[in-house]
Amino acid sequence: MRSTRRRGRALALAWCVTLLVVAGGGPARAQDDPLPSWNDGPAKAAIRTFVRRVTTPGGPEYVAPPERIATFDNDGTLWSEQPMYFQLAFVLDRVKALAPKNPDWATKQPFKAALEGDAKALAASGERGLLQLLMATHAGMTTAEFDTIVRSWLASARHPRFQRPYTDLVFQPMLELLAHLRASGFKTYIVSGGGIEFMRPWTTEVYGIPPEQVVGSSIKTRFEMREGKPVLMRLPELDFIDDKAGKPVGIQKFIGRRPLAAFGNSDGDLQMLQWTAAGEGARLMLIVHHTDGEREWAYDRQSHIGRLDKALDEARAKGWTVVDMKKDWKVIYPFQR
C-alpha cells in the first residue's frame, strides 16, 4: 500500500518536472538575464561563472545547497554610505530628538557638536565621543522600542543629496545579485559593521534578508520583568564589533559555516574575504569599487568612510573580482530605472 503510493508520487513528480520545464518554469534560459542592471564585463562574467560552477549537478565543483552561504557587507556594498554612514545620520537625528529631555547636552561635548552639526568638533571627539553618542541613542530602551524608533526614523528621514528615504539608496545591481544567488539555492546573509538591530527592522523588505540572517555589531541586552511582562533592555555596553577581524568571528559565531561567496567594498571587509578565499573549491570574493562620482560617489584609498586600500591591493594580487561601479552598473539605484 505504502509502496504503491510512493510509486504514484514519484510518477506525479516526474510529470511535474516535465510540465514545468516545458512551460518554461525550469532552469533559467539564456535570454532570462538574472542580472539585467549589470553591463557585460569581467565582473558579471565572474559571478555567472561562479554560480554555474557550484550549482551544476554532477560537476566537479558542485556544492550542496545547505553549504551555499553568501555574506554581504552592508554600508557601501548594498547601499550607499556617503556623505556619512546612514546609521550616523540616525544617531545625529536621535540626539536632536532627545535633546529637549537632556538640556545639559546643549553645552556638553560631543552632544553640543552633534546638535550644532559641528563636524570638526564631532571628529575631534574621536571614537570615545562617537561611542557616547551611540550609547545615548541606542541604549536605555527595550528591543521592541528600539525597533519602533528605527522604523519611524526611516519613514521620515531623507537623504540630503537625493531627498529620498535612505532605504531607496540601495544598489539595484546588488538587489539582482541577491535574488540571483537565492534563486540559485544560496542563503544570503548581511555581515556588517553596522548595528544588528538598526538593520533588522528593514532588511526583509528591502533586501529579502530575514532578521536571523543579519550579523552586525551589537550592544548587550538584559532580560527583565517589567510590570510582569518580560522585556529585553538595551544596555550602554558594547557586546560585539562586527568589523575587520571581527567579521570572520561573527560569521563563525552566527552562521558556523565558511561562506562560499563574500561581498564587500572596504578594508573593513578584507578579513571576511580572506576567510572566504581560504576555503576549498570554487569561491567568489567580490569588492564594489566606488568609481562613479556622478551617479553615486567616487572614493577609495584616501577616504575616511569606507576606505578601500589594502583590500584593493589584495584583490588585484589574488584575482578577486573588483566591480567598477561606473563601468559595470547600468543603474545605481532602483528609482533610476
Binding residues (CB under 8 A) for a copy of itself: these are: 5, 8-9, 11-13, 15-16, 19-20, 22-25, 66, 69, 143, 187, 196-197, 200, 204, 210-212, 214, 218, 220-223, 229-230, 232, 239, 245-246, 248-249, 252-257, 271, 274-275, 278
From the centroid of its chain, how far is CA 189?
A: 7
Shortest distance, position 256 Cβ to a copy of itself, whole Å = 3
Shortest distance, position 44 Cβ to a copy of itself, whole Å = 23
Shortest distance, position 64 Cβ to a copy of itself, whole Å = 11
C-alpha cell at 182: 537565492
Q: How many residues does the chain have?
A: 337
**CA Rg, the chain, in Å?**
23
Shortest distance, position 223 Cβ to a copy of itself, whole Å = 4
How many other C-beta atoms lie within 10 A of the C-beta of residue 61?
A: 14
277's enclosing H/E stretch is helix 270-277
Shortest distance, position 262 Cβ to a copy of itself, whole Å = 12
Shortest distance, position 220 Cβ to a copy of itself, whole Å = 8
262: left (phi over 0), alpha (psi -120 to 50) or beta: beta
- The answer to whether the CB of 308 falls within 8 A of the CB of 314 is no
Spatial distance between the Cα atoms of 171 and 168, rounded to a whole number of angstroms:
9
- Phi, psi for residue 194 in degrees, rounded to 5: -70, 170
Spatial distance between the Cα atoms of 80 and 87, rounded to a whole number of angstroms:
11
